Amino acid sequence: MRTAPPPDVLQAIALAEAEAKKAKKDPRRSHKGAAALATPVANAKVRERKAAPATAPPKFSKAARRFYNENIKEHEPQRLAKVLAAAGVASRRTCEELIFQGKVTVNGSVCTAPQTKVDISKDSIYVNGNRISKKLPPKLYFAVNKPKGYICSCGEPKSIISLFDDYLKGWNKIQPGVPKPRLFTVGRLDVATSGLIIITNDGEFAQKLSHPSSNIMKEYVVTIDGPVHRNHLIAISEGTKIDGVKCIPDLVEPLDVQSNTKRTRIRIAVHEGRNHEVRELVQNAGLEVYALKRVRIGRFRLSPDLGIGKFVELKQTDLKSLEGKK
C-alpha cells in the first residue's frame, strides 16, 4: 500500500512548482531561484571569481608612464594635428591650419582633415615636403627663473624660450635621431614680472595646469616703493573688480622691510590667474609696484639657488607639486 510523501516534502515540491511558474513569467527570477538552491561551496567559488582581478596590475602607474613618455596609446592611431604638434612641427592650432591649407600628406595623399587618425610608426607623413620622424621627442618639463624684461611669446629676440638656445643646440648629442622638441610656456608672466614659470612641450599638461578650473594657487612677492600700512593690506584683501569680475586674493601678508631702502614687500597668493591681477590688486589699494616676482605654483616653490635666467628639469614629484598634490 503506497503512502503519501511527508508534509515537508510536499511543501518543498509545491514551492518549487510555484517558483518555476514565476520564472516563466519573469526570466530574471530564475537566477534568484538558482542562487537560492546553490551550495555553499558553489557560492564561495562565485565570490572568489568576483574578487579576483580581471587583469594583472600594470607595471607602472598611469602618471609614471606619462612622465617617462611611455604613452598608453603609443601604438594606437591619433589625430593628425596632435601628432604633428607632438613631433614639434608647430602649435596644434598652427598644425591644423597647415592641414587645412593642403600642406600635409599622409601616405602620398594630401590630407585636409586635422581629425584624421594616423599611426606615426606606420604612416608616412610629410609637411611642406619634409618627412616627419617616426620618433617623437620625450615629454620635457622645466622650471625657469624668468628675468625681468623677457616675454613669454616664442620667436622674439628676448623670448624666454631663447634661454634654451644652448640646450637645443646640443640636442642631437643628447637625443640622436630624435627631432627637437617645440618648447612653450605654461601660462604667462608679463614682461615686467620675474620669477617662476614652467616650460614644456606637453600641451595636455600645460592646458591642465593653466586652465582656470584647476584653481591652482600662485604666490607672488610684491615690492612696494614706500611704506605699507594696515589700511593698504585691508584694501588688497577685500579685492577689486577685474574685467567685471570681483577678484579676492587668498593670502595677503607683509614681509620684512628692506634695510637698505624704504621699500616694503608683501606676499600675495591668488588662484584665478587673471591678467595683471596682482598688480591691479596692489594699485587699487593706492600703492605703487616697484617689482613683482612669482615664487610658487601649487606646492612647488622657486628654489633660492636657481639663478636669474637659469632653469632646472623637473621630476615626477615636482609635477605633482605643481598641481597642488602631495
- Tell me which residues are annotated as active site: 190
Q: Which residues contact 4 (CB under 8 A, 6 or more apart)?
A: 10
Type and span of the H or E element at 43: helix 40-51
Torsion of CA 23, 27, 30, 32, to 10 degrees: -120
Type and span of the H or E element at 210: helix 203-210
Which parts of 133-201 are beta strand (E)?
141-146, 184-186, 193-200
Tell the residue number behind the cell numbers 595677503, with chain if given: 252
DSSP assignment of 63-131 equals HHHHHTT--TTTTS-EEHHHHHHHTTSS-HHHHHHHHHTT-EEETTEE---TT-EE-TTTS-EEETTEE
Please state the separation of Cα 147 from the chain's center in Å: 25
Please, are residues 145 and 302 in contact by the beta-carbon 8 Å criterion? yes
Point out which residues pair with 218 in neighbouring strands: 270, 297
Please, are residues 132 and 89 in contact by the beta-carbon 8 Å criterion? yes
| CA-angle at 270, arms to 268 and 272, nearest 5° | 155
| C-alpha–C-alpha distance, residues 233 and 212, integer Å | 25
Q: Which residues contact 30 (CB under 8 A, 6 or more apart)?
A: 23
What three-state secondary structure class fits 222?
strand
